[in-house]
Structure 1
């Protein structure tokens, strides 16, 4: 991850002391895909939209992902851990001038932001997942889920029940996992499919204001 692969909503001279919100795009997209959301989110945030490192389709992916033959998705847990550790190191390189760090991920990006929260349960002020999922993983010391549950991290999950992309088994496992490990705000939207709606971004803005800016 490099500065050349990240879009920033504020010049470097304007970032000091601001809360940082990092955006993680979905599979096959790039850092420009979510960057337009910055204009719809609270102006107090410095927003940075990050590009994944793996070429995939017309864009990039955070880690290889494919069907598992049983209605779900297959992935390599070791690759997920490697990429998440790399992203965590990059976050450490930029977080020093900010008052807090929050995460927002769309689709596969939600898998990354939830993994980061599970690996670093005390590092983030809030997490937003849009039309995505939490990876269904075996117990592993990398995933500090008990610490995360004790932390009571605010987590916003927005999706459409008619989303045609995220497999139902992952929806069900995410729906079981999130309330047990986070303080979950879950909102369902009609007619959004696998996307982001204006109503959802308004709710995300309200969530970030209440959980980050009000602290």
Structure 2
């Protein structure tokens, strides 16, 4: 067990073998840049795989299933309004993802991550935990979690070497609260090289215009294309 900043015992991340959908067979992944997708609350690994048709073909894409069964899908950690939510639950879940990534990254030329909704909280938490590990991060209609002083979040290191970050959202998104947006905006503007774009009439979703911008961002940031 580890100890949180509050002095309470925090659960160690479990060994985790996630369900993963891959865009390429294993024999074709070596030497390609990797993009890992993290779905939203009550979705699954199939939810974001449709994005691959809109992304640069050079990437190997891996879409990962969250560990907690909830309703018709899965969750990365309890929602902040749930009684069993804690920063330790976030750390345990994201820590397990980080351990899995260490087993998957070696054959790839780089690793970038993309998260939608709660999956953006996973992506930002991974970046905060391992700030030097990712070429870029894409966050769509999501948020960051308050660190509550937990040592898992190496925010000073992230600020010292900011990673390119694309953040897309609609101001009329009714799912992500104004408080969450305020916290997220404050963190991203001070800890990343931020590209922020607002979309109208998208609400809590992803649209074709946003995907075109994500494609351009990945091509420029990872592949060096303009």
Question: TM-score interval w.r.t. the shorter chain?
Answer: over 0.9
Which of 156, 160, 171 is equivalent to 2:170?
160
Structure 1 or 2: more helix by fraction: 1
CA distance in 1, matches of 2:175, 2:41: 11
CA distance in 2, matches of 1:86, 1:6: 14
Residue deviations 1:73-101 (CA, integer Å, cap 9, x gap): 98310011111111111000010100010
| Aligned residue pairs, count | 210
CA distance in 2, matches of 1:142, 1:67: 22
Q: Which residue of 1 aligns with 2:66?
A: 52
Q: Could you tell me whether the CA contact under 8 Å between 1:149 and 1:180 is conserved in 2? A: yes
Question: Is there any run of 5+ residues in structure 1 with no aligned partner, and where?
Answer: none
TM-score, structure 1 as length reference: 0.94
Which of 4, 11, 27 is equivalent to 1:13?
27
CA distance in 2, matches of 1:74, 1:150: 33
Q: Could you tell me whether the CA contact under 8 Å between 1:136 and 1:170 is conserved in 2? A: no
CA distance in 2, matches of 1:100, 1:76: 32
- Asked whether 1:130 is paired with 2:144, we answer no
Q: Which residue of 2 aligns with 1:2?
A: 17
User: How big is the alpha-carbon RMSD for the aligned residues of Structure 1 and Structure 2?
Assistant: 1.5
- Asked whether 1:61 is paired with 2:75, we answer yes
Q: State the 4+ residue runs in structure 1 displaced beyond 6 angstroms.
A: none
Q: Which residue of 2 aligns with 1:185?
A: 195
**Deviation for aligned residue 1:211:** 0.8
- Asked whether 1:97 is paired with 2:107, we answer yes
CA distance in 1, matches of 2:192, 2:205: 23
